[in-house]
Amino acid sequence: MIEVKNINKSFNDISVLNDVSICFEEGKTNLIIGQSGSGKTVLLKCIVGLHEIDSGQILYDQNDFSRMNFKERKNIRKQIGMVFQGGALFDSASVEENILFPLNMFSDQSFEEKLERVHFCLKRVNIENASNKFPSELSGGMKKRVAIARAIALNPKYLFCDEPNSGLDPKTSILIDNLIKELTIEYNMTTIINTHDMNSVSEIGDRVIFIYQGNKYWEGSSQQIFKSDNEQLNDFVFASKLYKKIREIY
């Protein structure tokens, strides 16, 4: 479980997050939704410590991450897997080396054991045969799979995904979404996903948090979202004709 309590974040005196408090549950896919520029990525990066927050608390299973030193944070980071928006695979390394990297950093296993783990992870995300390819040779969907494989290499307790299906076709998006959902249940992870894709919400959203201009406006389940009377949320949810039609049917 990850608890975010009253966090504030600004860049050069421009406030990006305002007093945001959220509780992310274990074994659930927690979706953060909101328009582009609303502060989703900044929120995610604050939670993992890539941005320092101005005030507030971030608790990983009751441990206050925001007040930890580098070494203590490293212990938490061992348990964090993160899938970045573009995949953020290391260009100069093969798929296999990309997934070996976190294992080399954190694990004391022998090389053979690590390699076995790499291939297990690749198999889990269904791209066993790509292990010797380089990131530039992969399609968008494959890059995301490799990024997911790299994120789960260390059996993380916490999984963060920043727009995991941006730039993917609808079918691949759903496959990636479901992969993340399955992994969440399989490893009982606390999973936090940033998205602006309503399909993901209806497909895998156990819990949905709506961010609007750096404020938390709404939070609830993926069923409740279609019946909410929050104006900004409705603007976001029913932006497309398709979802307007869905509302009429409801």
Beta bridge partners of 161: 83, 193
What is the per-residue binding string for ligand ADP in 62-101, x denoting contact by CB under 6 A? ----------------------------------------
Out of 29, 41, 184, 232, the only residue in the binding site for Mg ion (CB under 5 A) is: 41
39 touches which of ligand ADP, another protein, Mg ion, none (CB within 5 to 8 A by kind)?
ligand ADP
Distance CA 250, CA 246 (A): 6
Sheet holding 29-33, edge to edge: 80-83, 158-162, 190-195, 29-33, 207-212, 215-220
Q: Which is nearer to another protein, 106 or 217 (CB)?
A: 106
Question: Smallest distance from the beta carbon of 234 to another protein, in angstroms?
Answer: 32
Contact 209/32 with Cβ under 8 angstroms?
A: yes
Question: Smallest distance from the beta carbon of 247 to another protein, in angstroms?
Answer: 36
End-to-end alpha carbon distance in the chain: 33
Question: Contact region for another protein (CB under 8 A) — 54-62, 79-87, 198-206, 212-220?
Answer: 79-87
What is the per-residue binding string for ligand ADP in 16-45, x denoting contact by CB under 6 A? x-----------------x-xxxxxxx---
